[in-house]
Chains A and B, each alone.
Chain A
């Protein structure tokens, strides 16, 4: 399995508090992604990164920010958590080679916002 970890694995927080989720990889892959998964919606892309300090928005980026200061780490921050951000968050990595859509996913973080 690809070397990708997420922390924390579970978190319960209150509305209005900031939350940061961490994704760490040991594969030296260029591309990293954050998705959220909710019942009835499948996986939706929040933000992605195509290199250190290079990030872009996905389809559901409102209320989220990301940072990538090192190749191996991709942080997802909820500036002020809301109940609608209760979800399972998956990080993924990819080599991003031409014609290659293979992404490796982390184990997920279950976030509950009360």
Chain B
């Protein structure tokens, strides 16, 4: 399973754009990159997933360079409610094709948003 490295914590202010970078130097050809968000006393929640280039949805963007050895989660105009732990995961999407959904969550990045 590919190991990921991300900052332990980040601070920001409301209205700012936040970029959280994750490194995954040993990502495999078939691995996808997935980000989850977790609030205290809740289970993680899926944010976004990508394989290469850029993916955007209603809450975030995911930037993946050509070598795929890192990825950046971008949260536009954060608010206090975005204060949470963000996890970067790398792995396959299908157990039957090998590593599958045996995703490693790691310790994540604690994002704190202030007024």
CA separation between A104 and B44, bound complex, in Å?
8
Task: Tell me if B89 and A45 are in contact (CB < 8 A).
Answer: no
Interface size class of A (residues with CB under 8 A): 20 to 34
Q: Which residues of A contact B97 (CB under 8 A)?
A: 98
List the B side residues contacting A105 at CB < 8 Å: 42-45
Find chain A residues with CB under 8 A from B96 CB: 50
Q: Is the CB of B43 within 8 A of A45?
A: no
B88 CB → nearest A CB, Å: 11
Report whether over half of chain B's contact residues are helix, strand or loop; otherwise say mixed: loop
- Number of contacts between A and B (CB, 8 Å)? 74
Known: A31-B101, A42-B106, A48-B101. A104 touches B93 (CB 8 A): no
A74 at the interface (CB under 8 A from B): no
Q: Does residue B100 face the partner (Cβ distance < 8 Å to A)? A: yes
Question: Number of B residues contacting the other chain (C-beta, 8 Å)?
Answer: 27
B residues 78-115 with Cβ under 8 Å of A? 87, 89, 91, 93-97, 100-108
Interface string of A91-107 (1 = CB under 8 A from B): 01010111111111111
B87, B94, B101, most chain A CB atoms within 10 A: B101
The residue that A42 contacts in the complex, of B34, B42, B105, with Cβ under 8 A, is B105
CB distance from B99 to the nearest CB of A (A): 11
**Which of A58, A90, A98, A101 is within 8 Å of B91, CB to CB?**
A101
Q: Cβ of A42 and Cβ of B87 under 8 Å apart?
A: yes
Q: Is the CB of A102 within 8 A of B34?
A: yes
